Structure 1
Amino acid sequence: MSIIALQKIPLLLGVSILYYVAATPPNPPPSSKEISKFGPGDPLTPKVVSTPWAMGKNLLLFVFFCEILVIVATQFPNNIIAETALAILVRSSHAAPAITPIFLAGFGFLLCGGCIRWFAYRALGRLFTFEVSIRDEHTLITEGPYSFVRHPSYTGSFCTCVGVTLCLFGPGSWLFECGWLKLLTVQVFAVVITGLHASIVYIVFSRMSDEDRMMQKEFGLKWDEWAKAVPYKLVPGIF
């Protein structure tokens, strides 16, 4: 039995929890009236942001459950359940999901992303939605992570997308180590998931300026003062 191999299990559970936090809206969607205050609305959001987040949660939980099952089965192989699991879930002669530098990098990105988004949820409270909107009795929040950058939840989104991609498909993962990435269908799946995450990053960059204009129009001088005090959008001192 390898203690090192088993040590990956709590990390995988942590990855699942962090992604679930980052991908779950903390509040119900805003009304159409609140969304319309953005102008023409944000029609790409439900299709390009909310949908992949929801799909990703279920897929990630399934994939990491399979990885945990393989780890346990390889460490305790002398029973019918382990033998069946390995026969179904392993396509190579080398079934060894492991903690690798790529996995640790992905875990680090996910840890940062999940925590940043959680703090953003806490700071905005009922005002935080995945859809761009001005809510009834909206106030300008300048505390917590919003005292460092103007769009911290998008920083968290970027970190989360990078992290989960590394953990899912990088060396040491179940898909990589157990031969599944050699299948064309799984390769297509990897491309689709990576593309969905890339689309989220694209939406992030395309929405920031529009959101800034919307908030400046809504709050005027108060927003101008905040933007002067917090000039960076995503990363303090860089961008």
Structure 2
Amino acid sequence: MDRLALSKCTIILVNGLWMRAALTPPNAHTPPEKRFVPDWRERFTLAVIPFHGMFKMMYWLAGLVEVLAILATSHPDFAISRSILRLLHASNIHQSKLIGTLQPFFVIGTLMMWLGGSLRLYAYRTLGRHFTFQLAIHPDHVLVDYGPYSIVRHPSYTGLIMLLAGAFVSNVEGSWVRESGILDYLVVRLLLAGWVLVLLGIVVSLVLRVTNEDRLMKGEFEKEWVAWAKKVPYRLIPLVY
């Protein structure tokens, strides 16, 4: 097995770990009676959260299948490899020379995932036990204005959006899903469409939530929040938004 193929297998598994960490709550869920649900934006966000598990599962499944395809393609003389390749719609894999290579889209997408995941986990660590997937104010809550929160007001959302975009980009070319021909099947196209819809739903929910989160924090911390907002005027992207 050449080093390039082994490197791609390793990177795919690491990408899966980033996805798991970014979409797994670092702390326990906030009880329903303590959640801040002011309008349809937050209701939409809460409706999307249960799909995180399905999204992670589908991403991991595709990643593990791709690793199997790369390993089997690298050792085609083994009987188990031939069986795996038959199972994984291998006729197109054999024709494609991209499955075990590091294509530009894969590299760019991976960098986006690692940068976004790092920012997301940095925000987890900075907020500590106060970071939850539901809007809420805790009894000992303080306004955090350092670390990633000194750059944008919602760095965890920026990181997650970057990671999700990277997950999509990394599979544009050279992935098993793209190269195997399995997208010829309607059911697979529908599953992929569902995955993309959940991805878009997560991104939209994050963008919608920033308004309510700012409103909640402003109401709780008042002048302290106003001073922070003047110092850090951008919500998600420096100099843009």
Which residue of the partner structure matches residue 88 of structure 1? 87
Which residue of the partner structure matches residue 132 of structure 1? 135
1:117 aligned to which of 120, 134, 147: 120
| Counterpart code for 1:171 | E
CA distance in 2, matches of 1:74, 1:30: 47
| Counterpart code for 1:11 | I
Counterpart mapping for 1:50-89 below 5 A: 50-89=49-88
TM-score (norm 2): 0.92
Aligned: 1:226 with 2:228: yes
Is the CA contact (8 Å cut-off) linking 1:109 and 1:159 kept in structure 2? Answer: yes
| Counterpart code for 1:32 | P
Aligned: 1:178 with 2:180: yes
Counterpart mapping for 1:9-20 below 5 A: 9-20=9-20
- How far the C-alpha of 1:40 sits from its partner, in A, is 5.3
- How far the C-alpha of 1:132 sits from its partner, in A, is 1.4
2:108 aligned to which of 105, 108, 113: 105
Which residue of the partner structure matches residue 201 of structure 2? 199
TM-score (norm 1): 0.92
Is the CA contact (8 Å cut-off) linking 2:38 and 2:212 kept in structure 1? Answer: no
Task: Report Cα offsets for 1:143-169 as digits up to 9, x if no partner.
Answer: 11101100001101211221112234x
| Counterpart code for 1:51 | P
Is the CA contact (8 Å cut-off) linking 2:45 and 2:206 kept in structure 1? Answer: no
CA distance in 1, matches of 2:92, 2:228: 58
Aligned residues: 236
Is the CA contact (8 Å cut-off) linking 2:35 and 2:134 kept in structure 1? Answer: yes
CA distance in 1, matches of 2:70, 2:17: 19
CA distance in 2, matches of 1:32, 1:3: 50
- How far the C-alpha of 1:23 sits from its partner, in A, is 0.9
- How far the C-alpha of 1:175 sits from its partner, in A, is 0.6
Task: Report Cα offsets for 1:172-221 as digits up to 9, x if no partner.
Answer: 00111111122211111121111111111111121111111111000011
Secondary structure of the residue that 2:132 maps to in structure 1? coil
CA distance in 2, matches of 1:124, 1:46: 20
Q: Name structure 1 gaps, 5 residues minimum.
A: none
CA distance in 2, matches of 1:74, 1:214: 53
| Counterpart code for 1:207 | R
| Counterpart code for 1:150 | R
Alpha carbon RMSD of aligned pairs, Å?
Answer: 1.7
Aligned: 1:161 with 2:149: no
